Structure 1
Amino acid sequence: MGRRAALFILFAATALAVMAALSRPGVPQDRALAPGPRGTGPIIVAVLGTSLTKRASWPDRFAGGLSECLGREVQVTRVARANANSRWGLAEAERVAASRPDLVLIEFALADADLTDGVWPGESRSNHRAIIEAIRERRPDVRIVLMTTNPVGGLHRLKRAFLGPYYRVYRDLADELGAGLLDAWPRWPGTASIPDGVHPAPEAEAQIVVSPLLTLVAPGFGAVCG
């Protein structure tokens, strides 16, 4: 084996090891909303995201659970588009704020991590910061939750080889900006319930997302749910 071939193999092995290390989910690092008043009247929830949000069943199930827990009407609005990343999300921030939400849930990390049509981690961080700031400027009392979502399988693991760092951006931003965080990524046991490697089966996804989301959102509305 020639020197160049050996160096290439060493480089490839090192790169794969780094990718594997960066893609380990660890344990969930949820961040609950800060305690808030109980309040009365309807709650408006806006979910801003990608095709994961557009096709999911969990937003409606979450709304039903929150309504039952709080004894208040909960309305859900989805602002979501297939193949959208956080650039699109930033362009839609004013539209989200105009819906006068009490709670905004945001997920773009999986799309941002796409090596073919995503954005670099630094831009992802700045876009999300700008989204949150734009919504808070119009709605100062809004509660905001960032959401890591699912792992990916098959060839999509190559397209999103550095998915882990994008999810870690969410963990960092939640602490930095005082937002809530649902860290669903570590909760997935694998990709068996993700048939195409990207989009989870809605029922499996709802079972993973709804209960912990209720638990961390409820304090912001003066309650304990789960």
Structure 2
Amino acid sequence: MYPAFRVKGGSILERRQTCQGGPLLYPFPMNSRSIQQRLLFWLSRNFVRSALLLLIAAFSSAAMGSESSMSVQTSSFKIVAFGNSLTARSDWPSALQNAMSTCLAGPISVEVIADVGVTSTWAVNNVNRVIAAAPQVILMQFSENDAAINNIMSVDSSRTNIARVLGALRQGVPAARIVYMAMNPPHGFRGWMRPFLASYIEAHRQEAERRNVTFVDFRPHWNTLTNAEIALHIPDGLHPTTSKVSEIMVPVLLAHLVPDKDCRPHRSQ
């Protein structure tokens, strides 16, 4: 049986054929030239439509990406400095805040949760304050007073405390980046009071690395100084001067916290 054709609209023919599912309509052009023209028209129309849709999707995706990136740069970024008197009595937290704010051109806040003479036992009892602050970065240091002989704390006890603190931070603020720091080496009487400080730092380093916590050691930077310079910049044997501690610590911390940006101060020639 041959299908029947009839003209519709002067240019398109409908082929009507009966099958089990009912009549089927197939539009056909009247000649081979019309076939080519209409096929090219159909392809071009759909190609343009598809291209426009792809461009719109790409533009929307780029716009969303830019908005997300901008929110990261302009929203408040909080750091908590968690430690003993080397944090509580020092200006390096404020120096870091100023340097990061300048480098990133956005608001950065550094909150200090620290006290004088405290050990990692104090850290265990105060870790919830850090968690409640909900920081993006936590900078902590507790080795120095744990190692002081007058505090009568073994390396194992110190290790257990640091493990508890790091575990609590991992659970309480899982998205935060944690940095454990080994600070400046003590000297003189305060150095004699901490004969096994290196063992405490090593135990803390091991606990940090087990939990994928960044370990930053400032001792090599201090060890480049002469004995006379150490005495000048750490006059009481333990607490560095404001200018020197910021000069040493801030560039190192910036390199770890914002490695994709050059936040070093550029001196004019």
TM-score in terms of structure 2 length? 0.66
What amino acid does structure 2 have at the position aligned with 1:208? Answer: I
Equivalence map 1:122-201=2 (5 Å): 122-188=156-222, 189=225, 190=227, 191-192=230-231, 193-201=233-241
* Cα shift at 1:72: 2.4
1:76 equivalenced with 2:110 (yes/no): yes
Equivalence map 1:100-119=2 (5 Å): 100-119=134-153
**Structure with bigger RCO (C-alpha 8 Å, 6+ apart):** 1
CA distance in 2 between counterparts of 1:68 and 1:118 reads 43
Counterpart selection for 1:205 from 242, 245, 251: 245
* Cα shift at 1:185: 1.4
Greater Cα radius of gyration, structure 1 or 2: 2
* Cα shift at 1:223: 4.8
Q: Any idea what the Cα deviations from partners look like across 1:177-212, whole Å, max 9, x if unmatched? A: 111122101211243211111111111111111101
Q: Any idea what the Cα deviations from partners look like across 1:7-63, whole Å, max 9, x if unmatched? A: xxxxxxxxxxxxxxxxxxxxxxxxxxxxxx963411111111111111111111111
Higher strand proportion (structure 1 or 2) = 2
Match of 1:61 in 2: 95
CA spacing shift, 1:85–1:204, aligned 2, 3 Å: same
Match of 2:151, SS? Answer: coil
CA contact (8 A) 1:102 1:141 kept: yes
* Cα shift at 1:71: 2.8
Counterpart selection for 2:258 from 198, 218, 223: 218
CA distance in 1 between counterparts of 2:84 and 2:148 reads 13
Match of 2:30 in 1: none
CA contact (8 A) 2:190 2:238 kept: yes
CA distance in 2 between counterparts of 1:115 and 1:48 reads 22
CA contact (8 A) 1:59 1:76 kept: yes
* Cα shift at 1:70: 2.5
What amino acid does structure 2 have at the position aligned with 1:162? Answer: F
What amino acid does structure 2 have at the position aligned with 1:178? Answer: N
Match of 1:151, SS? Answer: coil
CA spacing shift, 1:120–1:224, aligned 2, 3 Å: farther
CA RMSD after TM alignment: 1.8
Any unmatched runs of 5+ in structure 2?
Answer: 1-67, 265-269
CA distance in 1 between counterparts of 2:208 and 2:125 reads 21
Match of 1:59, SS? Answer: helix
CA distance in 2 between counterparts of 1:180 and 1:124 reads 18
What amino acid does structure 1 have at the position aligned with 2:181? Answer: M
Match of 2:188, SS? Answer: coil
- The percent of aligned pairs where both chains have the same amino acid is 30
